[in-house]
Amino acid sequence: MPGATKAFPLKRWTRHSSVQSPTLSRVAVIPCTDYSPDLVSRAVHEGLNALGGMAQFAAPGEKILLKPNLLAGDPPERAVTVHPEVFGAVAREFQNAGAQVTYGDSPARGRTERIALVAGISPVADALGIPLADFRRGETRSLKGPLSSQTVRLAHGVLAADGMVGISKMKTHGLTGITGAIKNQFGTIPGLQKSELHLRYPDVYRFSELLAAVLLLAPPRLYVMDAITAMEGNGPRGGNPRHMGVLLFSSDAVALDTVFCRLIHLNPEHVPFLEAAHKAGIGNLRMDRIQISGSDPDSLACKDFQVPRRPPPRFLTSTYVPRFLREWVTPRPVIDASRCRNCGACVAQCPVTPRALDWPGEDGPETLPVFHYERCIRCYCCQEICPEKAIYIHVPPMARILYRK
């Protein structure tokens, strides 16, 4: 698969950071071989009990929002979104605890109702009497931490809840390397503002600081990760399903994503949003500060999980660096003409004005879209949204030399 490499061997783990949580974090690692309803329900119950039980996360009568990853309208077997059995098992636990449960997400493109239907989430929600929260409208809130002078809009569904549960999918990601507990919370921002934020924070390091600030602004009480079937390679939509056979649970997003990294033999130092969140004082990044309940992650780890190469060093993303040098070392999106169906999703998703890819000439969608790399900010939104797996991330030869895993 173009643009991917084998995962980082576990020869060293995170350096001693100057910022860490004063308490240990707990992550429950619960094996679950497949999506059989009984197996998933037992695994979810076991994972929540390992963290202290439902009393830790909801009281009777509280309004609890479930925030599953609903990136796009793909069936569950493609491993793009949270599996409906995992969503349903978590929802039932909160309903049994007496909580008033809602659910919602702000997808990259399209209506949440349709995406939830295709992904199999809304039939489960309807059967349980769980309404879809309002993620179309939002209210402006000031960010916290290093970006406290900036604002974002949070979805009404988030603001109306007493507490939130982030339900993420274990996947790779073209921009951030992986998408898990922390990245999932970007979906609390409604509508087109997500594209606008890519323009305001155009490189992976500034975007990672934004992700940390959003997490500080609206932190879930609980994080659940569906890693029974993960996605490797050209994620978060165009990759390949990979069986991992595990569910993860934690109240610490940083710790959960760190264990995610350990399961796929990826050095968490190479994930900018983990470093950004940890520097902002969120959670524990070091394994010696993380208590594992359930199974040892090393016993479930996948040594050949296909992950994107780590991003270029931060100084090379600066506008002070000559463009030609940045082009030599920065991965870029490329269209696979054999897969492209000229649907135009990538063109519509580009946040740049004028667009960094568009139809050539006057033929419109009769021809292949063309990239204008001099405009491209490398947000990879086009690759993220492509329904045909037709856009991949090309890593220039110089970058392959400099950033070997």
Stretch among 39-43, 129-133, 194-198, 320-324 having the lowest mean pLDDT: 320-324
Say which range, 11-15, 107-111, 203-207, 215-219, has the weakest mean pLDDT: 11-15
Q: Which residue has the tokens 């780590």?
A: 310
What is residue 363's predicted lDDT score, i.e. its pLDDT? 62
CATH number at residue 45: 3.40.50.11440
Please determine, for residue 327, whether its predicted confidence score (pLDDT) is greater than 80.
Answer: no
Q: Mean of the per-residue pLDDT values for the chain?
A: 91
How many CB atoms within 10 Å of residue 299? 9
> Do 356 and 280 fall within a single domain?
no
Task: Identify the pLDDT of residue 146.
Answer: 79
Contacts of 401 (CB under 8 A, 6+ apart): none
Q: Which domain, by its residues, includes 123?
A: 4-308
pLDDT at 2: 41
Name beta bridge partners: 293. 28
Q: Out of 10-14, 23-27, 255-259, 400-404, which region has the weakest mean confidence (pLDDT)? A: 10-14
Residue 156 confidence class, pLDDT cut points 50, 70, 90 = very high
Residue 15: pLDDT over 70: no
Mean pLDDT of 343-367: 87
Residues 160, 41 share a domain: yes
SS3 101: strand
Q: Which of 77, 64, 139, 57 is nearest to 104 (CA)?
A: 64
240-250/222-232 β-pairing: antiparallel
Higher confidence at residue 17 or residue 279? 279
Contact yes or no for 29/293 (Cβ under 8 A)? yes
pLDDT at 364: 66
SS3 content of the chain, % helix, strand, coil (to 5): 35, 20, 45
Same domain, 289 and 239: yes
pLDDT of residue 5 exceeding 50, the answer is no
Contact 282, 318 (CB under 8 A): no
Average pLDDT, stretch 200-205? Answer: 92
Q: With residue 327 as reference, give the H or E element that holds it.
A: helix 323-329
Domain boundary, last residue among 308, 334, 364: 308
Q: Name the one residue in this structure whose structure tokens are 């988030």.
A: 158
The reported pLDDT for the residue numbered 9 is 33
DSSP assigned state of 57: T
Query: How much is the pLDDT for 14?
Result: 35
From its phi and psi, is residue 129 left (phi > 0), alpha (psi between -120 and 50) or beta? left
Dihedral of the CA atoms 293, 296, 298, 302 (nearest 10)? Answer: -80
Residues 363 and 392 in one domain: yes
Mean pLDDT of the region 16-28? 68
Sign of CA dihedral 138, 66, 49, 33: negative
Does position 1 have pLDDT exceeding 50, yes or no?
no
Q: Which of 293, 308, 323 is the last residue of a domain?
A: 308
Instruction: Quote the pLDDT of residue 6.
Output: 35
Q: Give the DSSP H/E element, type plus range, for residue 164.
A: strand 163-173
Residues 355-378 have a mean pLDDT of: 86
Give the least confident one: 127-131, 344-348, 361-365: 361-365
Q: Residue for token digits 């208590």?
A: 291
Final residue belonging to a domain, choices 274, 308, 342 = 308
Residue 200 in tokens = 């305001």
144 and 113 co-located in one domain? yes
- The confidence band for 21, taking pLDDT boundaries of 50, 70 and 90, is low
Total domains, the chain = 2
Q: Are 301 and 374 in a shared domain?
A: no
Cα gap 287→355, rounded to integer Å: 42
Please say if the pLDDT value at position 188 is more than 50.
yes
Is there a single domain that holds both residue 304 and residue 320?
no
Same domain, 228 and 197: yes
Determine the average pLDDT of the residues in 113-126: 99
Average pLDDT over residues 275-283: 93
Is pTM beyond 0.75? Reply is: yes
Please write the tens of the pLDDT for every residue from 96-106.
Answer: 999 999 999 99
CA distance 202 to 404: 24
158 and 250, same domain (yes or no) = yes
Same domain, 282 and 378: no
- Do residues 196 and 331 share a domain? no
pLDDT above 70 (res 375): yes
Report the CATH number at residue 361.
3.30.70.20
pLDDT digits (tens, 9 = 90+) for 39-85: 999 999 999 999 999 999 999 999 999 999 999 999 999 999 999 99
Q: Judge whether residue 357 has pLDDT over 70.
A: yes
Does one domain contain both 19 and 82? yes
